[in-house]
Chain A
Amino acid sequence: MSQSAPVTLGADPADRMIAWRRFADVAFQVLALIVLVVALACLGALIWDIINDGAGRLSWDFITSFSSRRASQAGIWHALTGSVFVILVTALIAVPIGVSAAIYLEEYGGRSLAARLIELNITNLAAVPSIIYGLLGLGLFVRMMGMGRSVLAGASTLALLVLPVVILSTREALRAVPGSLREGSYALGATKWQTIWHQVLPVAAPGILTGLILALSRAIGETAPLITIGAVTFATFAPDSIWSPFTVLPIQIFNWVSRPQADFHANAAAGILVLVMLLLSMNAAAIWLRDRYQKKGTA
């Protein structure tokens, strides 16, 4: 119909450029998607590899047996109890201190110089390598304070390690509490602490708890700082007091991986399965709490 020359796509340089740009746009998107898929595939390979190596070794006996020089008789009871014990003591130390520090920074500190300095310091501490905490624990708790290579020294080290995480997540939970709640409480004549204790903390509790569980689940997978403070790597006993020597599950796994025999590698994989299940159940608890909290929030 038109009198002008028929337009064929690609003939005009501008059209070709647009076609090229469209192609590049799609290609870029595909490339980015491939990267994501590769990342997910790595997780898949990791899980598959460990289940493949370790599932056959996993049994009730494996969980309830002590360490042994024979791979087929070795178990993780001492390491599992050690891990649980250390984490409980870590929680007893880190939770009250961390939550208190967060309350100070969020409710009292404001923008004062001290509060800002502490904040900056906490951000930095969160990124200090965990093995440095191990050296701190070795010098401070094991040597200077004379705790020896005990559960208490290990838990204190881990407590310092998770404190920044506990503080940051608790602050987030406190920040989510609406200011009107505080103002209402003040209007009724409550003091600052009464307001925090009776109004703010109960509302923030599920959020705080979620953060605490996630922080502790990080501590339970830590290996390097506990090796550095001198946790034993071959244990045939379960710790019975905070002064006893101990080992933890990740160290036992490390010990088995480091041996040349394939039988011990299977043990390591089975140990990893137990560790991962422990972590997953902690994470599931945290997610459950968060969901419950969110539902309540909207209702």
Chain B
Amino acid sequence: MTVRPAQEPRRGLRRFEFVIEWGLFLCALLSIGTTIGIIVVLTVETVAFLREVPIVEFLTGTEWTPLFAMPRFGVLPLVVGTTLVSLIAMLVALPMGLFSAIYLSEYASVGLRRVVKPVLEILAGVPTVVYGYFALLFVTPLLQRFIPSLSGFNALGPGIVMGIMILPLVSSLAEDAMRGVPRGLREGSYALGATKMQTSLRVVVPAAFSGITAAFILAVSRAIGETMIVAIAAGQQPRLTWNPTVPVETMTAYIVQISLGDTPQGTLEYRTIFAVGMLLFIGTFGLNLVSAWLRERFREEYA
């Protein structure tokens, strides 16, 4: 009798704790739900799309004209457009990102880091639509002074700007990887008479290799999925070309182009954006997994 009142709230409390834990767990589970949702939505529409367009034609066709009276559904021009712009972006972002990471990790004073890091963070935080504006109305006209044949819409300008956009990501992830290399390795290298540059390039960078590669792969994935810069500045003409001076269309820009129009649900055009999205998702998801695996391996090496 005397114990009961004390026990009652205790039992209620335990039930309350139980409910809370499950509620929190469900919230965490929502992230799995998001992934499943993405896969289900993309799969349903892609399957419906592939019922009308053979998968071989979709993946190997060289013409992409889904809005024409005689539509062709060969996705290669979009894939090549995406690859071309991403390639240019990587040519800018990888060397510059690696150099700035080496500098920030091995050379820079604390004071300089305190100035540079926030600036890089600002670069990373600029909305992509702003970079699109910059690519179309600043970088492309600037490039046209040197390359007169450069079209107003092209792969080069947005590629370069995308590289600048991705640079902070490469730089900060690669720097993290290099800072994770134990001091002892550097000191050993100095003790053998190596200069700072030799130590950086021949000891630190190789030691951080899997971490740096993970950063690079994540950057490629980001470039492939980047949308607004190319939608604004690369043009919307799907063509199978490796020429960076003419208008091209990427997978992401195509999705934007169709979304801007009023395409009714259930039509083949409507389904194309999901089919293209599926391809985009598979590509980026694969790259992300490889990147995560490499980072995990790097962490184990120096744990």
Residues of A within 8 A of B (CB): 21-22, 24-25, 28-29, 31-33, 35-36, 38-40, 42-43, 45-46, 49-50, 53, 96-98, 100-101, 103-105, 108-109, 114-115, 117-118, 120-125, 127-136, 138-140, 143, 160, 163-164, 167, 191-193, 217-218, 220-224, 227-230, 233, 250, 253-254, 257-258, 265, 268-269, 272, 275-276, 279, 283
Contact (Cβ within 8 A) A135 B277: yes
Q: In the bound complex, how far is the Cα of B32 from the Cα of A121, in angstroms?
A: 7
Q: Mark B26-60, 1 if CB is under 8 A from A, else 0.
A: 01111110110110011011000000000000000
One digit per residue, 1 when the CB lies within 8 angstroms of any chain A CB and 0 when it does not, for chain B 251-279 equals: 01001100110000100000001100100
Q: List 7 A-B contacts (CB under 8 A).
A: A32-B100, A33-B103, A128-B285, A131-B255, A139-B45, A224-B252, A254-B132
Q: Are A43 and B119 in contact (CB under 8 A)?
A: yes
A191 to B181, CA, bound (A): 41
Interface string of B220-234 (1 = CB under 8 A from A): 011011111001100
Given A118-B31, A134-B259, A136-B38, decide whether A29 and B285 contact each other with a Cβ distance below 8 A: no
Partner of A121, one of B35, B100, B102: B35
Asked if B265 and A143 sit within 8 Å, CB to CB, the answer is yes
- Are A129 and B284 closer than 8 Å at their CB atoms? yes
In the complex, A217 Cα to B127 Cα: how many Å?
9
Name the CB-closest residue of A to B14: A191
Q: Contact: A228 with B31, CB < 8 Å?
A: no
Q: Is the CB of B284 within 8 A of A131?
A: no
Interface string of B193-204 (1 = CB under 8 A from A): 001111011000
B125: Cβ under 8 A from any A Cβ? yes
Interface set, chain B 91-132, CB cutoff 8 A to A: 95-96, 99-100, 102-104, 107, 116, 119-120, 122-123, 125-132
Query: Are the CB atoms of B228 and A118 closer together than 8 Å?
Result: no
Chain B residues whose C-beta falls within 8 Å of the C-beta of A223 in the assembled complex:
127-129, 227-228
> Are the C-beta atoms of A125 and B231 separated by less than 8 Å?
no
4 interchain residue pairs of minimum CB distance:
A129-B225, A221-B127, A139-B41, A32-B103
B-to-A contact residues, CB < 8 Å: 13-14, 16-17, 20-21, 23-25, 27-32, 34-35, 37-38, 41-42, 44-45, 95-96, 99-100, 102-104, 107, 116, 119-120, 122-123, 125-134, 136-138, 164, 167, 195-198, 200-201, 218, 221-222, 224-228, 231-232, 252, 255-256, 259-260, 265, 273-274, 277, 280-281, 284-285, 288-289, 291-292
Q: A97-B30, A124-B288 are in contact. Are A39 and B130 (CB under 8 A)?
A: no
Q: Is the interface of B mostly helix, strand, loop or mixed?
A: helix
CB neighbours (8 Å) of A49 from chain B are 134, 137-138
Q: Is the CB of B28 within 8 A of A250?
A: no
* Minimum Cβ distance to chain B for residue A113 (Å): 13
Q: Which residues of chain B have C-beta atoms less than 8 A from A192's C-beta?
A: 17, 21
Residues of A within 8 A of B265 (CB): 143
Main secondary structure of the interface of A (DSSP, over half): helix
Alpha-carbon gap, A50 to B16, bound state (A): 55
**Bound CA span A250–B226, Å:** 15
Do A136 and B96 form a contact, CB below 8 Å, given A128-B288, A233-B260?
Answer: no
Give CA–CA (A33, B103) in the complex, Å.
Answer: 7
Bound-state CA distance A135–B259 (Å) is: 10
Q: Give, as a whole number of angstroms, the nearest-CB distance from B125 to chain A.
A: 7
A194 to B297, CA, bound (A): 38
A192 to B16 Cα, complex, angstroms: 11
Whose C-beta in chain B lies nearest to the C-beta of A283? B125
The closest CB in chain A to the CB of B273 belongs to A135
Q: With contacts A101-B30, A123-B288 known, what are 14 further pairs, Cβ within 8 A?
A: A39-B96, A39-B120, A46-B131, A114-B25, A121-B31, A122-B31, A127-B288, A129-B226, A164-B31, A228-B255, A230-B259, A254-B129, A257-B136, A265-B133
A129 touching B123, Cβ below 8 Å: no
Quick one: which of A24, A233, A279 contacts B195, CB cutoff 8 A? A24
Report A-chain residues with C-beta under 8 Å of the C-beta of B104.
Answer: 36
Q: B131 to chain A: which residues have CB within 8 Å?
A: 46
- Residues of chain B with a CB closer than 8 A to A21's CB: 195, 197-198
Chain B residues, CB < 8 A from A275: 127, 130
Alpha-carbon distance A227/B236, docked complex (angstroms):
16
Q: What is the bound-complex CA distance between A134 and B225, given in angstroms? A: 12
Q: A129's closest neighbor in chain B, by CB?
A: B225
B13 surroundings in chain A (CB, below 8 A): 191
Which of A124, A228, A257 sits near B289, CB closer than 8 Å? A124
